[in-house]
Amino acid sequence: MRIDIITVLPEMLDGFVNTSILARAQKKGLVEIHVHNLRDYTTDKHKRVDDYPFGGFAGMVMQCQPIDACISALKAERDYDEIIFTTPDGEQFDQPMANQLSMDKNIIILCGHYKGIDYRIREHLITKEVSIGDFVLTGGELAAAVMADAIVRLVPGVLSDEQSALSDSFQDNLLAAPVYTRPSDYKGWKVPEVLLSGHDAKIKEWELTQSLERTKRLRPDLLEK
């Protein structure tokens, strides 16, 4: 799998994509992540990639030319399954979307910035608009990092225990059950006895009951799904 991230602040992403799970995935040869500085594709001699919006609106808008040039250069080298734009008014990113994107071969993520991008890019080049929540960030770099992490960990072979990803919260629209480790008694705080019983059926029943209870209490909206 290959993920290309287009940004005006590559330094925000360089460290993130080269540590932890993302770094291990790349070292294993399972994933490629490339960060592209949008300013390298502008024809402006001062390396500007934004301008004032028509209509007198506030803020600055990312221009068509550098974005088109960068995406065109990438598309000339390979086909892409999705060209994603990170934006607060996009489709909500969730676990099912991460699952789906993890099966793609090549993805571009364009990080929004300033007041947004020229809408013609969204109309003609973007295939998917994605938001990580109902709030506004200074730029889309954090959203791109969140998406990359959620997607890459699902690629087969990335995690040492692939079953771990399948039991994560939201995989079945339920929050995960509580987890515990040694010691079984710490300051009188005891691990539920059923987890020490070795009885697989009872443990599974406890796990489901706990998942349902926590979801009902913390995220009842998930149960509607």
Listed by start position, the domains of the chain span: 2-152, 169-223
Query: Is it the case that residue 166 has pLDDT exceeding 60?
Result: no
Buried b / exposed e across 76-109, counting CB within 10 Å, b at 16+? eeeebbebbbbbbebeebebebbbebbeeebbbb
pLDDT confidence of residue 164: 58
Give the residue among 146, 108, 144, 143 at the shortest CA–CA distance from 128. 108
Put simply, whether the predicted model's pTM sits higher than 0.85 gets the answer: yes
Tally the residues of the chain: 225
β-strands 189-190, 185-186: how paired?
antiparallel
- Secondary structure (3-state) at 84: strand
Superfamily of domain 2-152: SPOUT methyltransferase, trefoil knot domain (3.40.1280.10)
pLDDT confidence of residue 91: 97
Query: Is it the case that residue 163 has pLDDT exceeding 60?
Result: no
pLDDT tens column, 91-136: 999 999 999 999 999 999 999 988 899 999 999 999 999 999 999 8
Superfamily of domain 169-223: tRNA(m1g37)methyltransferase, domain 2 (1.10.1270.20)
113 DSSP 8-state letter: B
